[in-house]
Structure 1
C-alpha cells in the first residue's frame, strides 16, 4: 500500500500535476493525523480503563478499612459514654451525704475504670495513608470523596491532640490517687489479685480522696473532656464522616462495575 502511494505521488510529480499532488499530499497528511488520533484515542481509552481498575481496587480496600473504622468508633463512643456516666456518679461523692451511703467496694468499682483506662480511638489508616503518600488520590474521580478522605487524616490529627489533653488529666488523677489512696484496695475489691495478701495501705480509706479539692478539680476537667470527646467535633463527628465516606465509596463502586 505504501509503495502504491509512493508511485502515485512520483507519477504526479513527473507529469507536473503539482496542484493535484498538493491535494494528494494534504490528504495523505490528514490520513496520518487521523491514524495518530485514533491510536491516541485507543491508548487513552486503555489508560482510562486501567486507572479505573486501580480505582476500583482502592475503593474496595477503602470500603473494608472504613467498615472496620466504623466498628471501632462505635465501640469507642459506647465505652466513653459509660465513662462519662461513671464520672457523673463519682462527682456526686464529693457530697458527704452521698459519700456516707456508698460502700468502699462501690468506690473501687467506680474509680477502677476511670483510673485504669484511657479515652482512645485508633483507626485503621493503612490503605488511606498508602493512597495519599503515593500521590494516587487523584485516581479517585469523585472530588467530594477525595476531599473527605484527605480531611479524615486532618480530623484524626486533631483528635490525637484532644486525646493527649485527656490523657494528661487522667494521669494527674491517677498520680493524685496514688499519693492519697490505695490502688491495692481497688484491685482487691475488683478481684484482680488475692484479697488475702497483706497491704501496707490496708488502713487507707479511699473515701478520703473525696476531701481533696485538687482531685475534684481534675475530675471535673476529665469529665468535661470525656463528654466533649463524644461530641460532634470528635467521636460523633468522626462517625458521621466515616458513614459519609462509606456511602460515597459504595456509590463509586457501583459506577465502576462496568470497567
Structure 2
C-alpha cells in the first residue's frame, strides 16, 4: 500500500508537471502570436499611411494635369471658331497666348514608391480588404494605359505642330518659357496661321486628342479616389 501510494503521488506530480509545461508552451505561443499580430498591424498601418500620402499626391497631380488639359481645350476652341475677319480684331499678344495654351504637354507621372515597396515585400497582403488590394495591384496597369495614350498623342502633336506652324509663326513668339527672356527677331503672321486649312485640321485633331487624354485620366482619377476612400476606411478600422 505504501508503495502504491508513492507511485500514485509520483504520477500525480508528473501529470502536474506536464500540465504546467503545456500551459507554459500555450502561453508562450499566445504571446508570440500576439507579438506577431502587433507587428503585422503596425506594418499594415504604416503601409496604409504611406499609400494615403502617395495617392493624395497623385490626385493633386491628376487635377493639375486636367486643369491644363482644360485650358488646351478652351484655347483650341477659341482658335477653331475664329474667322479671319475676327482675327483682325484680336491683338498679336492675345493670339500668341491662345496659341501657347494649345501646346501644353502636361503628363501624369504618379508616385508609386510605397505601392511598389508594399507589393515587393508582400506587406500589401496584410490588407484584408480584397477590393482595395485588387485596385492597388491593377493601379500600375491603368496608369500605363493612360501613359501610352499620352505618348501617342504627344508624338502625333510633335509631328504636326512644327510642320504646320513654322511657316507662319516663330517658336520664340508663342512658347511660354521665352516670354520674359526673348522675342523673335523675325515677324510672325498669326492671321496667316488662322487662315491655313492645315492649322484648322491640326486644331481639330488636337481637340480630339486632349478630350481622349482627359477621358483616360478621369478613369485613373476615379480609381485613385476609390483607393483613397478604401484606405481611409481601413485606417479608421485600425484605430
Question: TM above 0.5, one fold?
Answer: yes
**Bigger radius of gyration among the two:** 1
Q: Distance in 2 between matches of 1:191 and 1:120?
A: 22
Q: How many residues align?
A: 233
Pick from 27, 32, 47 the counterpart of residue 43 of structure 1.
32
Aligned to 1:68: 57
1:214 maps onto 2:203 in alignment? no
SS state of the match for residue 180, structure 1?
Answer: coil
1:243 maps onto 2:216 in alignment? no
Distance apart, 1:156 and its partner CA = 0.9
Contact 1:87 1:223 in 2 (8 A): yes
Aligned to 1:226: 210
Pick from 157, 163, 169 the counterpart of residue 176 of structure 1.
163
SS state of the match for residue 230, structure 1?
Answer: helix
Pick from 120, 137, 146 the counterpart of residue 159 of structure 1.
146
Distance apart, 1:172 and its partner CA = 2.5
Q: Distance in 1 between matches of 2:26 and 2:129?
A: 28
| TM-score, scaled to structure 1 | 0.75
SS state of the match for residue 211, structure 2?
Answer: helix
Q: Distance in 1 between matches of 2:130 and 2:175?
A: 53
Distance apart, 1:165 and its partner CA = 1.6
Aligned to 1:90: 79
Aligned to 1:3: none
CA root-mean-square deviation = 3.1
The change in CA–CA distance for 1:100 and 1:46 in structure 2 (over 3 A counts) is same
Contact 2:44 2:124 in 1 (8 A): no
Structure 1 unaligned runs (5+)? 1-10
* Runs of 4+ off more than 4 Å: 23-38
The change in CA–CA distance for 1:193 and 1:50 in structure 2 (over 3 A counts) is closer
Q: Distance in 2 between matches of 1:134 and 1:218?
A: 48
Contact 1:83 1:226 in 2 (8 A): yes
Distance apart, 1:187 and its partner CA = 5.6
| TM-score, scaled to structure 2 | 0.81
Distance apart, 1:127 and its partner CA = 1.0
Distance apart, 1:178 and its partner CA = 4.8
Structure 2 unaligned runs (5+)? none
